[in-house]
Amino acid sequence: MNLINININEFEKELYSYYVEIFPEEERKPLKLLQSSYQKGYMKIIKIVNGGSLVGFMILNGVKDKGYVVLDYFAILPLYRDKGFGTKAMELLIEQKKENDGIFVEIEKIGLGKDETENLQREKRQKFYEKLGFQKLNFDLLLFDVLYMPYLFSNNDIDEEIVRKEILNIYEAISGKERIEQNCKIIRNLKFVEIEYKDLEQKGNYDELINKVIAKCFETENLQNTQLYVSIILTTPNVIKQTNREYRNIDQETDVLSFPMFEKEEIYQIAEEEVLGDIMISLEQVKVQAEEYGHSFERELAYMLVHGFYHLMGEDHMQEDEKIRMRKKEESVLNQLNIVRE
C-alpha cells in the first residue's frame, strides 16, 4: 500500500466524485474552500493506493511544517471496507508524520447520533482510533453545532493547552477567524453523568447504557452544550428504602428516586458546571419489574433513567395532563434510542 500526495486538480479529477458520494452534504466543505486551502498551503490531499488500485483518500490540514495536523477527511471506498485497508493506511500515515507533533481527529459524540445505527458507527470509529494509539483529550469540541470528542496521536508529551491553541489556529486558517470564533467552543471536561454503585455485591457493567441514555436525554432537551451533569446511584432495595424514609418520610422500597437541584425555570440559566440532580435506582427492582412487564433488564433500566431524568427537569405525573406530557417525553427518548417495549 502507498500514500500518494496529489494536487487539487488531481483531487477534482480523481477523487471529488467519491468525496461527494461518501460524505453527506452537511459534512462537506465547498470545493472553493478546499481549493483556497490547498492554494494557501494549509491542506494536503493523499490518495491511498494498493496494488495499483485506488482504495481511499485522506485530507489533512496544518499550518506548520512539523506541527499538529488535523485529519479532516478519511475515507475507504465501499468495495475495500472491513478488510484492514483503513488500519494499514493510518499506520502508514502515522509513520509518515512521526516528525510532526501529532495527528488530531474529531469523532462525533457517542450517544448523540440520530439513531442506534449512527451511534454504533461512532463507537466503531472511536475503537478504531484507540486501537491505533490515539488518546481522548480532556475536553469536547462544539464545532458548527456538532459536538465532537477530540482524539490525538501524539509524538511528544501532550500539553492540552498548546494542542487547543494549535488546533484552533488550523481551524482559523481554513475557515476564517471570525467564523471559528462564532462557531467553535472548547468545552472542558464535559460529562453528562457521574455513576456510583452503592452497597452492591455484584456491580454489573451498566456504564455504557447509562451514558447513552442520559446523553440522549440531554440532546432531546437541548442541554448537550451545557456543563450540567446527572449523578446516578445504583443500589440495593434496603438503601433505597432508607433513603425514601429519610427524605420522603415513606418507609418502603421503591424503584427510582429523583432529587432535583434546581427549579424548572432555573435550569437553562446555569452557566457553570453543576449537577442537575441525583437519580437513585434499585437494581433489584429493575430486575423484578423487567420480569413483570416481560421485557429486558436493559429496557427497564433505560426507562427508569429517563423517568428519573424528567423528574430532575421538573416534570411530574400527579395530574393526568402532567402524566401524559411526561410519558410522551419518556417514550420519545426511548424510541430515538430504539429501546422499545418487547
CATH code for the domain of 143: 3.40.630.30
Residues 203 and 182 in one domain: no
- Report if residue 283 sits inside a domain: yes
Q: Cβ(201)–Cβ(238) under 8 Å?
A: no
Q: Cβ(331)–Cβ(304) under 8 Å?
A: no
Structurally, the chain folds into a number of domains equal to: 2
Question: pTM for the full model?
Answer: 0.60
- Report if residue 120 sits inside a domain: yes
Q: Which residues have a Cβ under 8 Å from the Cβ of 291 and sit 6 or more positions away? A: none
Residues 226 and 275 in one domain: yes
pLDDT exceeds 80 at position 191:
no
Q: Which of 152, 173, 188 is the last residue of a domain?
A: 188
Give the residue-averaged pLDDT of 212-227: 85
- Report if residue 270 sits inside a domain: yes
Span 266-313, pLDDT tens digits:
999 987 888 999 999 999 999 999 999 999 999 999 999 999 999 999
- Report if residue 73 sits inside a domain: yes
What pLDDT is attached to residue 39? Answer: 95
Which residue spans within 20-80 are E strands per DSSP? 43-50, 53-61, 68-76
State the Cα–Cα distance between residues 81 and 275, nearest whole angstrom: 42
Q: Cβ(147)–Cβ(109) under 8 Å?
A: yes
Domain residue limits at 183:
2-188
Q: Which residue has the cell 507533533?
A: 101
Looking at the chain, list the stretches that DSSP marks H as alpha helix, in order from N- to C-terminal side. 8-10, 16-22, 31-39, 85-96, 116-131, 160-175, 177-183, 207-220, 237-248, 283-293, 297-312, 320-336
Residues 164 and 230 in one domain: no
pLDDT exceeds 60 at position 189:
no
Residues 179 and 227 in one domain: no
Residues 174 and 309 in one domain: no
Span 147-172, pLDDT tens digits:
888 999 998 888 888 988 999 999 99
CATH code for the domain of 267: 3.40.390.30
Span 105-125, pLDDT tens digits:
999 987 777 777 888 889 899
Give the residue-averaged pLDDT of 5-27: 94
Residues 131 and 250 in one domain: no
Confidence band of 188 (pLDDT split at 50, 70, 90):
low
Q: Which of 188, 223, 243 is the last residue of a domain?
A: 188
State the Cα–Cα distance between residues 69 and 97, nearest whole angstrom: 9
Q: Which of 143, 166, 188 is the last residue of a domain?
A: 188
Residues 160 and 228 in one domain: no
pLDDT exceeds 70 at position 2:
yes
